[in-house]
């Protein structure tokens, strides 16, 4: 069986390279001995027969209307995938388009698809840019990445991805980042987030494999690459002023 990871609208929603989260999943699956492929979907006609995970990247505000129009064609599919527990990772404006809606500075708005709770609203403090560190809810994992957004996200306080340790997250002073509903994740974390946070990628892959009746166990190549990722993560945490716990190998020395 081949696991199929769909990246939606990469021509419009890949400003920060976030569509490449799909490539991260496929590569890690391959290192674990699983067949996987990435399928770029620009319209519903491009959908493969089987979908095991969906990645939606971020785009510019100039692409919002066009992206929304194309995503509306997939509204029923997205809602069904979310209900069935297919992992969906949406970043930046891709996440905002799955929300209740986006409010623009001129008073107009864009209706979202209503897949995730909350809405994006203009941030009174201006654009939020900088390193972001998040303590993932229900986990000891620290997620790292870069945030760059002109809007705050409100109305999803009951289901965040995690608690902000450094940075702004959903809004300055909110203390929260992202939103999670079942296996659907929305986040401001760029990076791409799955390359910088291998543990999150592995949780998504574990869900994908289990739904397909397969097992997922990171391969030897994965561990080599993750050592580089961990070094970069620790540098990120240190720069952000977040205390870094000793690595397991350090604790044994």
pLDDT tens per residue, the chain (253 residues)? 999 999 999 999 999 999 999 999 999 999 999 999 999 999 999 999 999 999 999 999 999 999 999 999 999 999 999 999 999 999 999 999 999 999 998 889 999 999 999 999 998 888 999 999 999 998 888 999 999 999 999 998 889 999 999 999 999 999 999 999 999 999 999 999 999 999 999 999 999 999 999 999 999 999 999 999 999 999 999 989 998 765 544 433 3
Residue 248, pLDDT score? 43
Distance CA 120, CA 154 (A): 6
Q: Any idea where the domains of the chain sit in the sequence?
A: 2-252
Nearest residue to 166 (alpha-carbon basis) of 151, 150, 145, 186: 145
Residue 243, pLDDT score? 83
CA 148 to chain centre: 14
CATH topology of domain 2-252: Rossmann fold (3.40.50)
Longest dimension (CA), the chain: 59
């Amino acid at each position: 069986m081949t696991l199929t990871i769909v990246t939606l609208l990469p021509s419009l929603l890949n400003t920060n390279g976030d569509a490449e989260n799909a490539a991260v999943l496929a590569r890690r699956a391959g290192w674990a001995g699983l067949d996987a492929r990435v399928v770029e979907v620009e319209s519903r006609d491009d959908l493969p027969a089987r979908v095991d995970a969906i990645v939606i990247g971020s785009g510019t505000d100039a692409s919002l209307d066009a992206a929304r129009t194309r995503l509306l064609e997939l509204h029923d599919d997205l809602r069904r995938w979310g209900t069935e527990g297919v992992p969906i990772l949406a970043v930046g404006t891709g996440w905002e388009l799955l929300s209740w809606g986006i409010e623009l500075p001129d008073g107009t708005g864009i209706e979202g698809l209503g897949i995730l709770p909350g809405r994006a609203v203009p941030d009174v403090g201006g654009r939020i840019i900088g390193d972001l560190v998040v303590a993932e809810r229900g986990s000891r994992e620290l997620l790292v990445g870069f945030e760059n957004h002109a809007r705050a996200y409100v109305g999803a306080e009951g289901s965040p991805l995690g608690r902000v340790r450094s940075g702004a997250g959903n809004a300055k002073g909110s203390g929260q980042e992202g939103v999670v509903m079942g296996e659907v994740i929305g986040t401001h974390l760029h990076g791409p987030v799955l390359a910088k946070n291998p543990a999150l990628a592995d949780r998504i892959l574990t869900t994908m494999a289990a739904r397909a009746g397969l097992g997922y166990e990171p391969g030897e190549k994965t561990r080599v690459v993750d050592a580089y990722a961990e070094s970069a993560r620790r540098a990120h945490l240190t720069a952000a002023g977040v205390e870094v716990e000793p690595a397991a190998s350090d604790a044994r020395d």
